[in-house]
Protein backbone atom coordinates (compact mmCIF):
# COMPACT_ATOMS: atom_id res chain seq x y z
CA UNK A 1 0.00 0.00 0.00
CA UNK A 2 1.46 3.33 -1.02
CA UNK A 3 -1.47 5.62 -0.42
CA UNK A 4 -1.98 8.35 2.15
CA UNK A 5 -5.46 8.34 3.60
CA UNK A 6 -7.22 10.93 5.72
CA UNK A 7 -10.26 9.48 7.45
CA UNK A 8 -12.64 12.01 9.04
CA UNK A 9 -9.53 13.92 10.07
CA UNK A 10 -10.22 16.78 12.49
CA UNK A 11 -8.01 19.18 14.45
CA UNK A 12 -9.09 21.81 16.93
CA UNK A 13 -6.83 24.45 18.46
CA UNK A 14 -8.93 25.93 21.25
CA UNK A 15 -11.92 27.38 19.46
CA UNK A 16 -10.28 27.22 16.00
CA UNK A 17 -11.34 24.28 13.88
CA UNK A 18 -8.18 24.04 11.77
CA UNK A 19 -9.12 20.75 10.04
CA UNK A 20 -12.76 19.79 9.80
CA UNK A 21 -13.71 16.17 9.07
CA UNK A 22 -11.42 15.68 6.05
CA UNK A 23 -11.54 12.39 4.15
CA UNK A 24 -9.53 11.68 1.01
CA UNK A 25 -7.01 9.23 -0.44
CA UNK A 26 -3.76 10.18 -2.20
CA UNK A 27 -2.97 7.66 -4.93
CA UNK A 28 0.43 6.56 -6.27
CA UNK A 29 1.82 7.36 -9.72
CA UNK A 30 0.71 10.94 -9.85
CA UNK A 31 1.33 14.33 -8.29
CA UNK A 32 -1.55 15.36 -6.06
CA UNK A 33 -1.69 19.07 -5.33
CA UNK A 34 -3.00 20.14 -1.93
CA UNK A 35 -4.52 23.57 -2.46
CA UNK A 36 -6.13 26.11 -0.19
CA UNK A 37 -5.82 29.73 0.84
CA UNK A 38 -3.48 30.68 3.71
CA UNK A 39 -4.72 29.22 6.97
CA UNK A 40 -6.90 26.62 5.24
CA UNK A 41 -5.33 23.83 7.27
CA UNK A 42 -2.83 22.31 4.82
CA UNK A 43 0.19 22.34 7.12
CA UNK A 44 -1.86 21.05 10.04
CA UNK A 45 -3.14 18.16 7.90
CA UNK A 46 0.38 17.29 6.74
CA UNK A 47 1.75 17.47 10.29
CA UNK A 48 -0.92 15.04 11.44
CA UNK A 49 -0.04 12.69 8.59
CA UNK A 50 3.53 12.60 9.89
CA UNK A 51 2.51 12.08 13.50
CA UNK A 52 3.79 15.57 14.48
CA UNK A 53 0.34 16.70 15.62
CA UNK A 54 -2.32 14.56 17.23
CA UNK A 55 -5.76 14.65 15.54
CA UNK A 56 -8.71 15.77 17.68
CA UNK A 57 -10.76 13.27 15.70
CA UNK A 58 -10.42 10.81 12.83
CA UNK A 59 -7.16 9.25 11.68
CA UNK A 60 -4.48 8.98 9.02
CA UNK A 61 -3.01 5.96 7.23
CA UNK A 62 0.38 6.22 5.56
CA UNK A 63 1.05 3.14 3.45
CA UNK A 64 -1.91 1.52 5.19
CA UNK A 65 -0.72 2.21 8.75
CA UNK A 66 -0.67 5.03 11.29
CA UNK A 67 2.71 6.80 11.06
CA UNK A 68 3.65 5.64 14.58
CA UNK A 69 3.41 2.01 13.46
CA UNK A 70 5.79 2.35 10.50
CA UNK A 71 8.91 0.29 11.13
CA UNK A 72 11.15 2.50 8.98
CA UNK A 73 9.29 5.79 8.60
CA UNK A 74 11.92 7.44 6.38
CA UNK A 75 11.78 4.48 4.00
CA UNK A 76 8.00 4.70 3.70
CA UNK A 77 7.42 8.45 3.53
CA UNK A 78 9.83 11.32 2.97
CA UNK A 79 8.67 14.81 3.83
CA UNK A 80 9.76 18.40 3.41
CA UNK A 81 7.97 20.60 5.90
CA UNK A 82 9.89 23.56 7.25
CA UNK A 83 13.21 23.68 5.43
CA UNK A 84 14.68 26.02 8.03
CA UNK A 85 14.30 23.46 10.83
CA UNK A 86 17.88 22.22 10.40
CA UNK A 87 20.79 22.54 12.81
CA UNK A 88 22.73 25.46 11.26
CA UNK A 89 26.15 24.46 12.61
CA UNK A 90 26.28 21.14 10.74
CA UNK A 91 27.54 20.64 7.24
CA UNK A 92 25.08 19.43 4.63
CA UNK A 93 26.76 16.02 4.47
CA UNK A 94 26.78 15.63 8.27
CA UNK A 95 23.14 16.57 8.53
CA UNK A 96 22.21 13.86 6.02
CA UNK A 97 24.63 11.33 7.57
CA UNK A 98 22.99 11.77 10.99
CA UNK A 99 19.56 11.23 9.49
CA UNK A 100 20.78 8.20 7.53
CA UNK A 101 22.44 6.62 10.52
CA UNK A 102 19.37 6.87 12.74
CA UNK A 103 17.30 5.20 10.03
CA UNK A 104 19.68 2.39 9.11
CA UNK A 105 20.55 3.92 5.74
CA UNK A 106 24.09 3.56 4.32
CA UNK A 107 26.60 6.36 3.55
CA UNK A 108 26.46 5.69 -0.18
CA UNK A 109 22.85 6.78 -0.27
CA UNK A 110 23.81 10.14 1.29
CA UNK A 111 26.21 10.83 -1.60
CA UNK A 112 23.55 9.69 -4.06
CA UNK A 113 20.84 12.08 -2.83
CA UNK A 114 23.29 14.99 -2.63
CA UNK A 115 24.09 14.34 -6.28
CA UNK A 116 20.36 14.19 -7.15
CA UNK A 117 19.62 17.57 -5.59
CA UNK A 118 22.87 19.17 -6.77
CA UNK A 119 24.51 19.77 -3.38
CA UNK A 120 27.67 17.69 -3.80
CA UNK A 121 29.85 20.75 -4.38
CA UNK A 122 28.70 22.34 -1.10
CA UNK A 123 28.57 19.13 0.97
CA UNK A 124 31.18 20.47 3.42
CA UNK A 125 29.57 23.86 3.92
CA UNK A 126 27.67 24.70 7.08
CA UNK A 127 23.92 24.63 6.59
CA UNK A 128 23.54 27.91 8.53
CA UNK A 129 25.03 29.81 5.58
CA UNK A 130 22.78 28.20 2.96
CA UNK A 131 20.51 30.27 0.76
CA UNK A 132 16.79 29.56 0.77
CA UNK A 133 17.10 27.51 -2.42
CA UNK A 134 19.99 25.44 -1.05
CA UNK A 135 18.02 24.86 2.15
CA UNK A 136 15.06 23.59 0.10
CA UNK A 137 17.38 21.27 -1.82
CA UNK A 138 18.81 19.92 1.43
CA UNK A 139 15.30 19.35 2.78
CA UNK A 140 14.42 17.47 -0.37
CA UNK A 141 17.61 15.39 -0.13
CA UNK A 142 16.52 14.40 3.38
CA UNK A 143 13.06 13.45 2.11
CA UNK A 144 14.59 11.26 -0.61
CA UNK A 145 17.12 9.60 1.69
CA UNK A 146 15.11 6.48 2.50
CA UNK A 147 14.09 6.01 -1.17
CA UNK A 148 10.45 6.18 0.00
CA UNK A 149 7.43 5.31 -2.11
CA UNK A 150 5.53 8.27 -0.66
CA UNK A 151 6.70 11.89 -0.70
CA UNK A 152 5.12 14.92 0.86
CA UNK A 153 6.19 18.53 0.32
CA UNK A 154 4.69 21.54 2.13
CA UNK A 155 4.96 24.68 -0.03
CA UNK A 156 8.28 23.55 -1.56
CA UNK A 157 8.67 26.45 -3.99
CA UNK A 158 8.05 29.25 -1.49
CA UNK A 159 10.64 31.94 -2.04
CA UNK A 160 12.46 30.12 -4.84
CA UNK A 161 13.65 31.69 -8.08
CA UNK A 162 12.21 30.49 -11.43
CA UNK A 163 15.11 28.07 -11.95
CA UNK A 164 14.53 26.50 -8.53
CA UNK A 165 10.79 26.28 -9.13
CA UNK A 166 11.32 24.52 -12.46
CA UNK A 167 13.80 22.13 -10.86
CA UNK A 168 11.37 21.11 -8.08
CA UNK A 169 8.54 20.74 -10.57
CA UNK A 170 10.60 18.41 -12.76
CA UNK A 171 11.72 16.42 -9.74
CA UNK A 172 8.16 15.90 -8.49
CA UNK A 173 6.92 14.87 -11.93
CA UNK A 174 9.83 12.42 -12.21
CA UNK A 175 9.06 10.88 -8.81
CA UNK A 176 5.42 10.37 -9.77
CA UNK A 177 6.46 8.88 -13.13
CA UNK A 178 8.46 6.30 -11.18
CA UNK A 179 5.16 5.23 -9.58
CA UNK A 180 5.61 7.07 -6.29
CA UNK A 181 2.90 8.89 -4.37
CA UNK A 182 3.61 12.62 -4.41
CA UNK A 183 1.58 15.00 -2.25
CA UNK A 184 2.46 18.68 -2.48
CA UNK A 185 0.81 21.72 -0.92
CA UNK A 186 0.55 25.21 -2.32
CA UNK A 187 -1.69 28.23 -2.07
CA UNK A 188 -1.07 29.07 -5.75
CA UNK A 189 -3.35 27.53 -8.34
CA UNK A 190 -1.19 28.67 -11.26
CA UNK A 191 1.76 26.71 -9.93
CA UNK A 192 -0.24 23.56 -9.19
CA UNK A 193 -1.84 23.62 -12.63
CA UNK A 194 1.62 23.06 -14.08
CA UNK A 195 2.70 20.36 -11.65
CA UNK A 196 -0.23 18.31 -10.43
CA UNK A 197 -2.36 15.61 -12.04
CA UNK A 198 -4.90 15.61 -9.27
CA UNK A 199 -6.10 18.24 -6.79
CA UNK A 200 -7.38 18.19 -3.24
CA UNK A 201 -8.75 21.67 -2.49
CA UNK A 202 -9.60 22.72 1.05
CA UNK A 203 -10.91 25.89 2.62
CA UNK A 204 -11.34 26.58 6.35
CA UNK A 205 -10.33 23.00 7.07
CA UNK A 206 -13.03 21.50 4.86
CA UNK A 207 -12.83 19.55 1.62
CA UNK A 208 -13.97 21.70 -1.32
CA UNK A 209 -12.82 19.53 -4.25
CA UNK A 210 -11.12 16.18 -4.90
CA UNK A 211 -10.71 16.17 -8.66
CA UNK A 212 -8.39 15.72 -11.64
CA UNK A 213 -6.68 18.88 -12.88
CA UNK A 214 -8.23 18.35 -16.33
CA UNK A 215 -11.72 18.09 -14.81
CA UNK A 216 -11.06 21.24 -12.83
CA UNK A 217 -10.03 23.05 -16.01
CA UNK A 218 -13.04 21.72 -17.94
CA UNK A 219 -15.41 22.82 -15.19
CA UNK A 220 -14.02 26.32 -15.13
CA UNK A 221 -13.60 26.88 -18.85
CA UNK A 222 -16.73 28.92 -19.49
CA UNK A 223 -15.67 31.96 -21.44
CA UNK A 224 -17.72 35.12 -21.87
CA UNK A 225 -17.79 38.20 -24.06
CA UNK A 226 -17.38 41.63 -22.50
CA UNK A 227 -19.55 44.18 -24.26
CA UNK A 228 -19.62 47.94 -23.83
CA UNK A 229 -21.95 50.24 -25.70
CA UNK A 230 -23.51 53.69 -25.13
CA UNK A 231 -26.84 52.03 -25.99
CA UNK A 232 -26.67 48.98 -23.71
CA UNK A 233 -30.39 49.09 -22.85
CA UNK A 234 -31.37 48.81 -26.53
CA UNK A 235 -28.79 46.13 -27.29
CA UNK A 236 -29.54 43.77 -24.39
CA UNK A 237 -33.04 42.65 -25.49
CA UNK A 238 -31.72 41.86 -28.99
CA UNK A 239 -29.23 39.27 -27.67
CA UNK A 240 -31.77 36.49 -27.42
CA UNK A 241 -30.72 33.10 -26.09
CA UNK A 242 -27.72 34.52 -24.22
CA UNK A 243 -27.13 34.92 -20.50
CA UNK A 244 -26.46 38.57 -19.66
CA UNK A 245 -25.15 40.21 -16.52
CA UNK A 246 -24.34 43.86 -15.86
CA UNK A 247 -20.88 44.78 -14.50
CA UNK A 248 -20.46 48.53 -14.09
CA UNK A 249 -20.16 50.14 -17.52
CA UNK A 250 -20.13 46.84 -19.42
CA UNK A 251 -22.01 43.56 -19.54
CA UNK A 252 -20.96 39.95 -19.73
CA UNK A 253 -22.55 37.78 -22.37
CA UNK A 254 -22.44 34.00 -22.09
CA UNK A 255 -23.75 31.75 -24.84
CA UNK A 256 -23.25 33.92 -27.94
CA UNK A 257 -20.04 34.28 -29.95
CA UNK A 258 -18.52 37.77 -30.26
CA UNK A 259 -19.11 37.75 -34.04
CA UNK A 260 -22.85 37.22 -33.54
CA UNK A 261 -23.05 40.01 -30.95
CA UNK A 262 -21.22 42.34 -33.36
CA UNK A 263 -23.58 41.45 -36.22
CA UNK A 264 -26.68 42.01 -34.09
CA UNK A 265 -25.39 45.40 -32.93
CA UNK A 266 -24.45 46.45 -36.48
CA UNK A 267 -27.86 45.31 -37.79
CA UNK A 268 -29.58 47.56 -35.26
CA UNK A 269 -27.21 50.47 -35.86
CA UNK A 270 -25.87 50.29 -32.30
CA UNK A 271 -22.26 51.33 -31.77
CA UNK A 272 -20.03 49.06 -29.70
CA UNK A 273 -17.19 50.52 -27.66
CA UNK A 274 -15.86 47.14 -26.62
CA UNK A 275 -16.28 43.52 -27.71
CA UNK A 276 -13.79 41.29 -25.92
CA UNK A 277 -13.68 37.52 -25.54
CA UNK A 278 -12.57 36.70 -21.98
CA UNK A 279 -11.20 33.24 -21.25
CA UNK A 280 -11.31 32.59 -17.51
CA UNK A 281 -8.03 31.58 -15.95
CA UNK A 282 -7.63 28.62 -13.62
CA UNK A 283 -6.57 31.11 -10.98
CA UNK A 284 -9.95 32.86 -11.32
CA UNK A 285 -11.80 29.54 -11.03
CA UNK A 286 -9.84 28.68 -7.92
CA UNK A 287 -10.51 32.10 -6.37
CA UNK A 288 -14.20 31.63 -7.08
CA UNK A 289 -14.16 28.17 -5.48
CA UNK A 290 -12.38 29.30 -2.33
CA UNK A 291 -13.73 32.84 -1.96
CA UNK A 292 -15.98 31.94 0.97
CA UNK A 293 -13.15 30.29 2.82
CA UNK A 294 -10.45 32.94 2.80
CA UNK A 295 -9.64 33.83 6.41
CA UNK A 296 -8.57 37.41 5.88
CA UNK A 297 -9.82 38.75 2.56
CA UNK A 298 -8.17 41.90 1.26
CA UNK A 299 -9.96 44.87 -0.22
CA UNK A 300 -11.91 43.91 -3.29
CA UNK A 301 -10.38 45.59 -6.31
CA UNK A 302 -13.03 46.86 -8.71
CA UNK A 303 -12.90 45.17 -12.16
N1 LIG B 1 -0.18 25.44 16.86
C2 LIG B 1 -1.30 26.12 16.60
N3 LIG B 1 -2.01 26.71 17.58
C4 LIG B 1 -3.14 27.40 17.32
N5 LIG B 1 -3.67 27.55 16.09
C6 LIG B 1 -3.02 26.98 15.06
C7 LIG B 1 -1.80 26.25 15.25
N8 LIG B 1 -1.38 25.80 14.03
C9 LIG B 1 -2.29 26.24 13.13
N10 LIG B 1 -3.27 26.95 13.74
C11 LIG B 1 -4.44 27.55 13.08
O12 LIG B 1 -5.06 26.56 12.30
C13 LIG B 1 -5.50 27.07 11.04
C14 LIG B 1 -4.86 26.29 9.89
O15 LIG B 1 -3.47 26.58 9.83
P16 LIG B 1 -2.45 25.86 8.82
O17 LIG B 1 -1.09 26.40 9.11
O18 LIG B 1 -2.64 24.41 8.88
O19 LIG B 1 -2.96 26.40 7.42
P20 LIG B 1 -2.25 26.32 5.99
O21 LIG B 1 -3.33 25.95 5.02
O22 LIG B 1 -1.05 25.49 6.03
O23 LIG B 1 -1.90 27.84 5.75
P24 LIG B 1 -0.53 28.53 5.26
O25 LIG B 1 -0.54 28.39 3.78
O26 LIG B 1 -0.74 29.94 5.71
O27 LIG B 1 0.57 27.84 5.98
C28 LIG B 1 -5.18 28.55 11.08
O29 LIG B 1 -6.32 29.26 11.51
C30 LIG B 1 -4.07 28.66 12.09
O31 LIG B 1 -4.06 29.93 12.69
- pLDDT reported for residue 31: 97
Q: Considering just the CA atoms, what is the radius of gyration of the chain in Å?
A: 24
Examine the pLDDT at 83 and tell me if it is beyond 90. no
10 touches ligand 1 (CB under 6 Å): no
Confidence of residue 303 (pLDDT cuts 50, 70, 90): very low
CATH number of the structural domain spanning residue 204: 3.40.50.300
In a domain? residue 259: yes
Count of structural domains, the chain: 2
Could you give phi then psi for residue 153, rounded to 5 degrees? -125, 125
Locate the ligand 1 atom nearest the alpha carbon of residue 40 and give its number: 21
203 touches ligand 1 (CB under 6 Å): no
11 touches ligand 1 (CB under 6 Å): no
Regarding whether 109 and 67 lie in a shared domain, the answer is: yes
Regarding whether 228 and 210 lie in a shared domain, the answer is: no
Predicted ipTM beyond 0.95: no
Report the length, in residues, of the chain: 303
Regarding whether 184 and 146 lie in a shared domain, the answer is: yes
In a domain? residue 171: yes
Examine the pLDDT at 169 and tell me if it is beyond 80. yes
Coil, strand or helix at 121: helix
Q: How far apart are CA 236 and CA 282, in angstroms?
A: 29
Regarding whether 263 and 114 lie in a shared domain, the answer is: no
Domain C-terminal end among 219, 245, 261? 219
Examine the pLDDT at 299 and tell me if it is beyond 80. no
- pLDDT reported for residue 103: 86
In a domain? residue 284: no
18 touches ligand 1 (CB under 6 Å): yes
- The residue whose CA has the least distance to atom 16 of ligand 1 is 41
Q: What is the mean pLDDT of residues 133-162?
A: 91
In a domain? residue 260: yes
Cross-strand partners of 226: 252, 276
Regarding whether 206 and 243 lie in a shared domain, the answer is: no
Q: How far is the CA of 285 from the centre of ligand 1 (A)?
A: 24
* 77-80 sheet: strands from edge to edge: 77-80, 150-154, 181-186, 30-35, 198-203, 206-212
Residue 72 vs residue 293, higher pLDDT: 72
- The residue whose CA has the least distance to atom 26 of ligand 1 is 38
- Mean confidence (pLDDT) of the chain: 89
Locate the ligand 1 atom nearest the alpha carbon of residue 43 and give its number: 22
In a domain? residue 286: no
In percent, the amount of the chain with pLDDT more than 70 equals 94
39 touches ligand 1 (CB under 6 Å): yes
Q: How far apart are CA 23 and CA 211, in angstroms?
A: 13
Q: How far is the CA of 291 from the centre of ligand 1 (A)?
A: 18
Q: How far apart are CA 83 and CA 96, in angstroms?
A: 13
36 touches ligand 1 (CB under 6 Å): yes
pTM over 0.90: no
* Domain limits for position 265: 224-279
202 touches ligand 1 (CB under 6 Å): no
Amino acid sequence: MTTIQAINLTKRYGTTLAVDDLSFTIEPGRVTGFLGPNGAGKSTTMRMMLGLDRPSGGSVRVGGKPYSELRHPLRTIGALLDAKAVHGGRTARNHLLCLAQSNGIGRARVEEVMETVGLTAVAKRRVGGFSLGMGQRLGIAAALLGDPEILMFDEPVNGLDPEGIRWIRTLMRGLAAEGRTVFVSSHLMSEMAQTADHLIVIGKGRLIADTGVQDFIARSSQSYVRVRSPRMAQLAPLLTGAELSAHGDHMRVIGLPASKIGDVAAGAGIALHELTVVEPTLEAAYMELTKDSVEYAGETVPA
